[in-house]
């Protein structure tokens, strides 16, 4: 497969139109078979459910060129399961996991020339999403929906190496108790936009949210789960019913236990414990792991011993191992890698 003539090593993390996208429609109580199309426009009613009541959800995953030249993607079955859960919570029709996986693989295959070559630091970002497309003026679910997948080549989230982040403890809540914090609803991200921009205006890279009920326990950021490392190299991650179940986090926990033989804990983490950890990082699809060097809690600064120059040693091993699995340098657990054929 001849690749597109792009400056792969200098791609930014932005959208670029590619050749094909997948579209399936839900009408009269059933999904059609769906199709690949070159048309990148979406035509819906001015009164569509997504526009009036934000009835939408999405996923994010990537496709890679491995060291031996194969095109692969990483654990799309988990993205399919998570989208099923999002749809149920939002009263949207479930797009079945098996069809989700098939559509993801088909869309990547149709855009294989856009999958960046191995060693460039770039990847193909895959964005499945669904929204209510029929007119809804009363507060109720739409009757018709579109499930779509777009892909776009993106550069590394960090250019020029890792630069540990400075984050603040947020006074605003990311999610409501018993709300939608554990699904990937578009409305969750719309709610976070003011707070992240306010953080940037005040010189912070991100917000670290605490639990909405007691404001005692660390949860996650606006778009990523959180990892901590203890003085005795134990990997700790917050546990809460309002945290989005990150596929990257779940994969890193397996890597920690089975590849690096680290002790792992998933438990509630109190804000008062922050000073006890030696490393901290955010984890998600975009950057895999983003190191945190400093947390600011109003007039108090918590500086992690890993410092502000680079990623700490434990998180670095986790990052190198997981990206090695994704790029074919490290043997993957069964079922993690889907090859595009």
Instruction: Report strand pairing: 264-267 vs 235-238.
Output: parallel
DSSP designation for 48? B
20, 43, 109, 184: the active-site residue = 184
The two structure tokens encoding residue 93: 């029709």
317 assigned to active site? no
What is the spatial distance between Cα 325 and Cα 327, in angstroms, rounded to a whole number?
6
How many other β-carbons are positioned within 10 Å of the β-carbon of residue 258?
11
Q: Nearest Cα to 329, choosing from 65, 85, 93?
A: 65
In sequence order, what DSSP letters do the residues of 182-247 get, joined into one string? TS-BHHHHHHHHHHHHHHHHTT-SEEEPBPTTTS-EE---SS-EEEEE-TT--EEEE--TTS---H
The two structure tokens encoding residue 214: 């007691």
User: Are the C-beta atoms of residues 146 and 42 closer than 8 Å to each other?
Assistant: yes
Q: Nearest Cα to 223, choosing from 252, 185, 262?
A: 185
What is the spatial distance between Cα 238 and Cα 253, in angstroms, rounded to a whole number?
12
The two structure tokens encoding residue 234: 């134990």
Catalytic machinery residues: 184
């Amino acid at each position: 497969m001849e690749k597109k003539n792009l400056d792969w090593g200098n791609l930014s993390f932005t959208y670029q139109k590619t050749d094909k996208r997948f579209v399936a429609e839900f009408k009269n109580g059933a999904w059609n078979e769906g199709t690949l199309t070159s048309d990148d426009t979406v035509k819906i009613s001015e009164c569509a459910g997504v526009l009036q009541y934000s009835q939408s959800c999405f996923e994010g995953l990537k496709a890679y060129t491995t060291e031996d030249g194969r095109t692969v993607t990483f654990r799309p079955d988990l993205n399919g399961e998570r989208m099923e859960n999002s749809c149920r919570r939002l009263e949207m029709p479930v797009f079945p996991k098996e069809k989700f996986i098939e559509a993801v693989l088909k869309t990547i295959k149709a855009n294989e020339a856009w999958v960046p070559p191995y060693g460039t630091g770039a990847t193909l970002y895959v964005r499945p999403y669904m929204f209510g497309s029929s007119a809804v003026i009363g507060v109720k679910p739409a009757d018709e929906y579109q499930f779509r997948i777009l892909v776009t080549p993106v550069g590394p989230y960090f250019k020029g190496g890792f630069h540990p982040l400075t984050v603040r403890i947020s006074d605003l809540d990311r999610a409501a108790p018993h709300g939608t914090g554990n699904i990937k609803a578009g409305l969750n991200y719309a709610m976070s936009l003011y707070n992240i921009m306010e953080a940037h205006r005040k010189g912070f890279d991100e917000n670290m949210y605490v639990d909405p009920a007691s404001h005692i326990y660390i949860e996650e950021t606006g778009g990523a789960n959180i990892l901590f490392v203890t003085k005795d190299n134990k990997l700790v991650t917050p546990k809460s019913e309002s945290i989005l179940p990150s596929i990257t986090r779940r994969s890193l926990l397996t890597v920690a236990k089975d590849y690096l033989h680290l002790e792992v804990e998933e438990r509630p983490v109190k804000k008062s414990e922050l000073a006890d950890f030696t490393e901290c990082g955010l984890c998600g699809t975009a950057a895999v792991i983003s190191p945190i060097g400093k947390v600011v809690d109003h007039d108090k600064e918590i500086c992690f011993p890993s410092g502000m120059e680079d990623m700490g040693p434990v998180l670095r091993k986790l990052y190198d191992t997981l990206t090695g699995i994704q790029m074919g340098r490290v043997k993957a657990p069964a079922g993690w890698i889907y090859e595009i054929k």
